Structure 1
Amino acid sequence: MNQNQKEKVLVLGAGISGINAGKLLTEVGRPVILYDGNKEKNEAELREQLGNPSDLTIVLGELTDEVLAQAGLCVISPGIPTDADFVMQVRTAGIPVWSEIELAYHYAKGRLIAITGTNGKTTTTALTGKICADYAESVFVVGNIGNAYTKEALKTKEESITVAEVSSFQLENIVNFHPQVSAVLNITPDHLNRHKTMECYTNVKLSIAKNQSPEDVVILNYEDDRLRAAAPEMMPRVLFFSSARELPEGAYLKGEEIFLALDGTVTRVCSIQDLNLLGRHNYENVMAAVLMAVSIGIPMDSIRHSLSEFRAVEHRIEFVEEKNGVAYYNDSKGTNVDAAIQAIRAMIRPTVLLGGGYDKGAEFDEWIQAFDGKVKQLILMGATARQIADTAAKYGVENIVFVDSMEEAVQTAAKTAEPGDAVLLSPACASWGMFPNYEVRGRVFKELVHAL
């Protein structure tokens, strides 16, 4: 870290991300100013969470010029918009702003694999992490998957492999963040309430590779027009994967088999029948994981073994239980339209679909069009329920029910579904307003299903 070790670091946000960043900084001897705009937060509790260091300052409510004058660096939590007034104050004061992953990167050792994309990040990160952990002794799976990079960075060693799921919010303030292998799985409209335009959102996603060198590798989806167009301008070696065509170099799906073409040699990886995952989008996730694993030096026999053992991650087209001949699936992580499209495409039974939630400004036409006659009933809840219903009606979807709670939704679905049907929670919306996050939403759904 180039900054003066005695300069104070201003950490913006006293949530989980801010606390973990603060802990890392105090462990390496950096004095911390922890700031949060919520003046009702308990200062004593925050101090205790950070281990009561003597050189910790906590500021709640207003961020003053006097506080800014003490800081030589700022670390921002990903949930804070970069155009927030107090962030602009920091920038105006000339203080460098780092994301939490930038901070972790500066203290981490070993090799780094970083994965982003609108959808599929968590599954691909978990699978890549398993492949690495089955082969190497020191592996850390971190980032947006639920285990903060800042929490693990100081544990890494020169021989470690870190597999990081990174979001667009985390990429907004990277400076030197440099993975040896990166992947952008896909780019579809999401978080436009934050990024404003698709061009801005796309550029932030692509910045995962901006510090990579020609000796590094970036994995891209050939079937994504934006990624294919961006590839010629990228510095690292580009390897594509495709679920729609054979590729001269990269990974591809041909019929029911996945192949790897590298340096003039074509290798059969596996059959999709060998996998415990549903849907074409998951086969794309597998191909991306295989390319990353090969790029980091893991042999194919070890990769195949890991693929055969891997199970779907929680909340992503996760099989919950079969009750009275009805299969229940939890896709609470389907927080945007494209993710929800992948989930409904993966269904092979007549489906009762539970959707709706927080309004992120999305349009739902493509989702409704993807129903393809599978959806026998659409059960809607949350702020977007009416908008989704109006869109569905345009496309001839008639059996629509409005509910006020997840409990009512599950009970309604159980009454409608018949043996041989599926009930799918795939909201196409964020959980906020009804649940604190998609994990809680999914777990509530599963508890209600188990209790039927």
Structure 2
Amino acid sequence: MKHIKTYENEKVLVLGLAKSGYSAAELLNDLGALVTVNDGKPFEENPEAQGLLEQGIRVITGSHPIELLDEDFSLMVKNPGIPYDNPLVAKAEELHIPILTEVELAYQVAECPIVGITGTNGKTTTTTMIGLLLNQERKAGKAHLAGNIGFPASAVASKAQAEDDIVMELSSFQLMGVEAFKPQIAVITNIYEAHLDYHKTRKNYVAAKWAIQENMTEENYLVLNWNSEELQVMSKNTRAQVVPFSTKEKVANGAYLFEGDLYYKEEKIMAADELGVPGAHNIENALAAIVVAKLKGVSTEAIRQALSTFHGVPHRTQYVDTIEGRKFYNDSKATNSLATEMALSGFDNDKLILLAGGLDRGNGFDELIPSLEGIKAIILFGETKDKLAETAKRAGIETVILTSNVETAVPLAYEQSEAGDSILLSPANASWDQYPNFEIRGDKFMQAVKQLEK
């Protein structure tokens, strides 16, 4: 870790805890800052705040008092999930207090190169693939996963050595709080419409994603999904070297799908059907990962071997089990229609039972109809089950079953299936009507699958 002097004796307010806030507070404290942590959760219910207090760090919990900003802070480090219209954040902006997220701190102290990955969908899978590939045949150091994937970037950066790499998943929320952040290689998997409740407009959302390349120079590489005309246009406004990937056309200096095979430039890497994870979206993810691996000097054989044995990450088209010839897949991370469409692209609909439903955000599901056509059966739960049932009927699905939740959906799906079928949880909705998060929803699905074996 670089022991920078930037924050020595500077008063810094860390707003919001969870993993990233906790790590940011610890790092700033180690760098000699005078840290105050403010979190809305009451102290007696807040183990992170209790842990920081034990380290001698000042904590204020239970509310976000505006008068805190009377203390002349020189910096605010904000939890990415806290919106900019939060009164304390808005007041900090009014006072011209710089507002960062902890990924900026991570960059400032990191001794090793950073590979940054952002996009609407596919970030976690692509990040995991890249981490796996960069650890193949490695003779020195290690590639560490960090960021939105669940490992606080500042904690990882404070421990990483000069010979390592940090492979960092970055959300739009995190990228709104960067200043000097400059990855060696950046990847944008795709850009669709998302998080408009936070960003207010699509323009703001796209700008947040594009911030990943703001400080990059001709020495750096920007890996872009060439299937997107929008990204092609945006690529003209970067100083980085642009390296494309595409499933629709040959791209001269990047990675592409051609006649069922994955290529980097003119070199065949592997057959698409050798990938260990299903779906057209995972071909895109793999192509992005291949570009990064090749730029970092990983051999073709190492790439092929690693990607053929990679079976996904938890809750993202994750293979769970095979029971009596039925394969079960957990795609609980599919919290919108687009993610479910992408998951469905990897299966034969006439041999597929789909489990879907969840939080009603007021949207319809007509965009799913082309992807649902020909599905053998659909089992629906949650607040949106009636809406989805209407959509399924318009898609021509004959077997539409409504049930209470994921746990009851699994045995019903099994009853409708036969050997050779796949049973896929891909909800197309957030989980919060019934489950605290998509991870718990996916865990409940996998537990219910295990129950079938008894």
TM bracket (short chain) = over 0.9
Are 2:55 and 1:57 aligned?
no
Deviation sequence 1:371-402 (CA, Å, 0-9, x none): 231x2222222233333333334444453322
Partner residue of 1:101? 103
Are 2:315 and 1:315 aligned?
yes
Distance 1:347 1:119 in 2: 18
Distance 1:174 1:386, change over 3 A: farther
Please, which moves more after superposition, 394-403 or 345-354? 394-403
Contact 1:365–1:392 (CA under 8 A) maintained in structure 2: no
Are 2:173 and 1:169 aligned?
yes
Long gaps (5+) in structure 1: none
Deviation sequence 1:39-83 (CA, Å, 0-9, x none): x34277344322622242324313232444242111111111122
Task: Write out aligned runs for 1:23-172 (5 A).
Answer: 23-38=26-41, 40-42=42-44, 45-50=47-52, 52-136=54-138, 137-172=141-176
Distance 2:97 2:159 in 1: 28
Distance 1:139 1:325, change over 3 A: closer
Q: 1:256 aligns with which of 234, 255, 260?
A: 260
Distance 2:327 2:152 in 1: 34
Distance 2:339 2:288 in 1: 17
Q: Alignment partner of 1:115: what SS?
A: strand
User: What is the CA distance between 1:426 and its match in structure 2?
Assistant: 0.2
Distance 1:314 1:73, change over 3 A: same
Distance 1:404 1:145 in 2: 30
Long gaps (5+) in structure 2: none
Contact 1:279–1:343 (CA under 8 A) maintained in structure 2: yes
Contact 2:69–2:92 (CA under 8 A) maintained in structure 1: no
Partner residue of 2:17? 14
Task: Write out aligned runs for 1:318-337 (5 A).
Answer: 318-337=318-337
Q: Alignment partner of 1:134: what SS?
A: coil
User: What is the CA distance between 1:300 and its match in structure 2?
Assistant: 3.2
Q: Alignment partner of 1:147: what SS?
A: coil
Q: 1:207 aligns with which of 211, 221, 227?
A: 211
Provide the aligned length of Structure 1 versus Structure 2.
446
Deviation sequence 1:282-314 (CA, Å, 0-9, x none): 111111001111223334343333333322112
**Identical amino acids, percent of aligned pairs:** 36
Partner residue of 1:282? 282
Give 1:432's aligned amino acid: W
User: What is the CA distance between 1:18 and its match in structure 2?
Assistant: 1.5
Distance 2:403 2:21 in 1: 36
Distance 1:423 1:308, change over 3 A: closer
Distance 1:73 1:429 in 2: 37
Partner residue of 2:271? 271
Distance 1:384 1:68, change over 3 A: farther
Partner residue of 2:232? 228
Distance 1:362 1:291, change over 3 A: farther
Please, which moves more after superposition, 414-423 or 395-404? 395-404
Distance 1:70 1:246 in 2: 55
Distance 1:301 1:323 in 2: 33
Q: Alignment partner of 2:321: what SS?
A: strand
Distance 1:412 1:304, change over 3 A: closer
Give 1:158's aligned amino acid: A
Give 2:345's aligned amino acid: R
User: What is the CA distance between 1:88 and its match in structure 2?
Assistant: 0.6
Distance 1:62 1:203, change over 3 A: closer
Distance 1:185 1:44 in 2: 36
Distance 1:377 1:24, change over 3 A: same
Distance 1:81 1:172 in 2: 11
User: What is the CA distance between 1:404 and its match in structure 2?
Assistant: 2.0
Distance 1:268 1:44, change over 3 A: closer
Partner residue of 2:371? 370
RMSD: 2.0
Please, which moves more after superposition, 65-74 or 99-108? 65-74
User: What is the CA distance between 1:4 and its match in structure 2?
Assistant: 4.5
Partner residue of 1:418? 418
Partner residue of 1:434? 434
Contact 2:406–2:445 (CA under 8 A) maintained in structure 1: yes
Contact 1:325–1:419 (CA under 8 A) maintained in structure 2: yes
Give 1:34's aligned amino acid: V
Distance 1:274 1:420, change over 3 A: closer
Distance 1:376 1:148 in 2: 42
Contact 1:335–1:430 (CA under 8 A) maintained in structure 2: yes
Q: Alignment partner of 1:329: what SS?
A: strand
User: What is the CA distance between 1:364 and its match in structure 2?
Assistant: 2.1
Partner residue of 1:388? 388
Distance 2:331 2:321 in 1: 13
Distance 1:309 1:351, change over 3 A: closer
Are 2:394 and 1:400 aligned?
no
Q: Alignment partner of 2:372: what SS?
A: coil
Distance 2:323 2:448 in 1: 12
Give 1:310's aligned amino acid: F
Distance 1:162 1:413 in 2: 41
User: What is the CA distance between 1:338 and its match in structure 2?
Assistant: 1.5
Contact 1:115–1:182 (CA under 8 A) maintained in structure 2: yes
Give 2:245's aligned amino acid: F
Q: Alignment partner of 1:413: what SS?
A: helix
TM-score (norm 1): 0.93
